[in-house]
Chain A
Amino acid sequence: MICTSTERDQLVNQEKLTFSGFTLSVHGVLEDYEIDSIRDFIEEYKRSIFNAGKLVLDFSNSPGIDSVAAAVLYGACKQFTRAGVRVRRTGTLPVIENLFETLAGFDSMPEPHKKRMSIRDYFENIGENVYEMGKTLYSLGHFFGDTLYAFMNLVLRPMKVRWSMVLYYMEESGVKAIPIIAILTWLLGLVLGYQAGFQLKELAAETLMPAMLGYIITWEIGPMLTAVLVAGRSGSAYAAEIGTMQVREEVDALRVMGFDVFSYLVTPKMIGLLCVMPFLVLLANFSGIFGGMLAGSLFLGLPPSTFISELGKALIPLDIYWGMLKSFIYAVIIANVGSFMGMRVRGGASAVGKATTAAVVLSIFMVIIADALLSLLFVHIRPGLSL
């Protein structure tokens, strides 16, 4: 079939909408995949239409229109009418007119009553959520396994590790976290020392404060607060970084090129965190104890020399090592959960935001569970703690 030149120009140039004065003319068949262009076109001439105060939709050159495209045009016309613009159609074939009338019919339909949820629906919802959570944890388990496999491969071939990226993550997640961790643990140590000291002073046992504070800081507060802060700072950053790469199809590009995304994207983050977390925990312990020492000397009349000697009597090296050991486990959790949430991102930028929030929540949740299990174990390991 040979086309006339007009038909050909229309097809080639795709100029299906034109606007002049107050008339919006449709040429040819508007289709569902063209709705974005229709919206853009209307947006472009919106101001002119409002200024003119009237709009004529001219369908003289249109044999038909897809229902989705018609709905977009109808929606735009409704907005114009609400804003006081007089809208009318001209040159419409019955097939198009019927479509617009059908769409207008939906306006007069009553709002459907919201169905009340029955008890069965509630239980179904709970069941579905539990099932989804189970599926997420199962996928996370798989993800841990894949990362561990990639990590073991890199341990056997350390030259394959992207050391430049490891150093980058050590700086981002470790060095840059020093001020916030130092300040917060120092403040917490100060407050704990002050509050515990006053309670103990009532019993004339303020010399027990250094030991109590030492245990609290080295067993729990130091490692836990460090993990929570690193999860908030770095876990979310990992999820956002990988999530954005997912949205921009960069992760798929890596896969197609034959790169193992676990070795390339996840393990440098994990190795970086494994390298810095123990030192961050040491720093947290030191700052917290220093805060407690300051509280003792300022409010309880406990000189630093006494504080240190009491602390030295109470703590054993295992207390410090245990916190550092826990930090390795927390590092693995934070790096994996952050990366896992990033990898699950589908869709656009809003999904990245959701992934970062989910990464922080799940990381902290898993760190607390791991901490509870490790504390149970610690009771059996540490001399002088057996029940």
Chain B
Amino acid sequence: MTALKVTDLSITFRESSREVHALGPVDFEIEAGEFLCILGPTGCGKTTLLRTIAGLEKPDTGEVDIPLHPDGGGPVIGFVFQQGALFPWMSIFANIEFSLKAKKIDKVIRRQKVESILEMMGLSSFSSSYPHQLSGGMQQRAALARSLVMDPDLLLMDEPFSSLDMRTSQELQENLRELLKKASTTVLFVTHNIEEAVYLAGEVIVLGHRPGRIVRREIIDLPDRRSRLSDTFTEYLVSLRKTFESLVSNP
């Protein structure tokens, strides 16, 4: 079943007398439960694409089609932002519970769900802490929990680990893989880190320089348990790197 279909999507930003063609046209589809990474150099329109899918930007042409939820309601979309975007005036518990309030979920069920996701993310002992009292990695973990607690049909992630150090970033990548194994959520993950893309994704789309268009689509045929030092992992890494190099030398 298709979880997301993007057709002929194109965006141009207009500011004063200046026009910037930021993206497209772009066409692609994701099957339910798939993990797709959008990879591309800085400024190629990756974030714009994600924001348009989330409904935060209006496309000039084309459309984004996300099927309705099986119960007939609108699709539930989760979004993990680059800086977490946790609300600083709320505790971690309240931040995660907040997303469920919008869905009008009963208070008892809401609390159960939050407690369960906090435990899964290893944040139980920080539930009453405020975001500024947590490290960057823990904040991103809380942001991920806030999106996952809604059981999203589609999870959009905008370079969520890019501001973290390599070790924390890798730890969170592993956490994410473990969590998604249980949740079977469809994920669209934006990054400029090739290694992160190969480690996480089932499929990678490479966008070229602005206006971002798809220059390559690659299925990552690796087992669920991935080793960053395996030969096949490195093969994918080098192969995608070559595409990147050619983008740099032929902008």
Contacts and interface: CB of A to CB of B under 8 A. Distances in A.
Interface of A: 1-3, 7-8, 11-12, 14, 29, 31-33, 64, 66, 128, 132, 248-250, 252-253, 255-259
B79 A252 contact: yes
Nearest to A259: B102
A31 B40 CA distance: 13
A248 B81 CA distance: 9
Interface in B208-246: 228-229, 231, 234-235, 237-239, 241, 244-245
A255 B51 CA distance: 11
6 contacts: A2-B234, A8-B229, A33-B41, A248-B83, A250-B87, A256-B79
Given A11-B195, A253-B79, A256-B79, 8 more contacts: A1-B238, A2-B235, A3-B235, A11-B234, A32-B248, A33-B42, A66-B248, A128-B16
Nearest to B152: A256
A250 B98 CA distance: 13
Given A132-B16, A257-B102, A258-B102, A31 B51 contact: no
A32 B54 CA distance: 28
A128 B83 CA distance: 35
Contact of A11 (B55, B82, B238): B238
Contacts of A255: 55-56
Contact of A250 (B56, B82, B85, B234): B85
Interface of B: 16-17, 41-42, 51, 54-56, 77-79, 81-83, 85, 87, 98-99, 102-103, 150, 166, 192, 195, 228-229, 231, 234-235, 237-239, 241, 244-245, 248-249
Contacts of A252: 51, 54, 56, 79, 81, 85
B238 A3 contact: yes
A11 B241 contact: yes
A258 B234 contact: no
A99 to B, nearest CB: 12
Contact of A29 (B229, B235, B248): B248
A253 B77 CA distance: 11
Given A1-B239, A249-B83, A256-B56, A32 B41 contact: yes
B79 A11 contact: no
A249 B82 contact: yes
A31 B248 contact: yes
A203 to B, nearest CB: 57
Contacts of B245: 29
A204 B95 CA distance: 69
Contacts of A258: 102-103
A196 B234 CA distance: 87
A58 B244 CA distance: 24
B195 A12 contact: yes
B248 A12 contact: no
Contacts of A7: 238
A64 B248 CA distance: 11
A29 B99 CA distance: 43
Nearest to A29: B245
B17 A128 contact: yes
Contacts of A249: 81-83, 85
Contacts of A128: 16-17
Nearest to A69: B248
B251 to A, nearest CB: 9
A269 to B, nearest CB: 15
Contacts of A33: 41-42, 192
B72 to A, nearest CB: 16
Contact of B99 (A1, A3, A14, A257): A257
Nearest to A66: B248
Most B CB contacts (10 A, CB to CB) among A11, A128, A256 go to A256
Given A12-B228, A257-B98, A248 B239 contact: no
A303 B73 CA distance: 74
Question: 8 nearest interchain CB pairs?
Answer: A249-B85, A253-B85, A256-B79, A258-B102, A249-B81, A33-B42, A257-B99, A3-B234
